[in-house]
Amino acid sequence: MTELETAIAYIIDVFDKYSCTEGKKDTLTKGELKTLMEKELPGILGNAKEKDDCDKLLKDLDENGDSEVDFQEFIIFVAALTCLGHARFEKMPKK
């Protein structure tokens, strides 16, 4: 597989790894989302200023209002993080 195909497969695998531990196997509950963030994005969660940031994130991601994050909502989150990371790295001096 190409690098991009591999990255896509990894994103799918990460979602599936955490989405099957509670509730429905094709969505992330609040607990699953928190665990995913703690294990897969510790630098981002570590920068959270408030204890309730995971609750706020879930509410922001949950477009259909079912109190869970489905794969499409998760991908929007991943895409937003990727855009923020890209913008941040663009500002860094080139070596």
Could you read off the pLDDT tens digit of each residue along the chain, which spans 95 residues? 999 999 999 999 999 999 999 878 999 998 898 899 889 988 776 665 555 666 777 778 878 888 889 999 999 989 988 888 777 666 667 66
Diameter over CA atoms, the chain: 47
d(CA 10, CA 12): 5
Residue corresponding to tokens 């869970």: 68
Q: Which residues of 33-51 are buried (b: 16+ CB within 10 A; e: fewer)?
A: bbbbbeeeeeeebeeeeee
What Rg do the C-alpha atoms of the chain give, in angstroms?
14
Residue type, 54: C
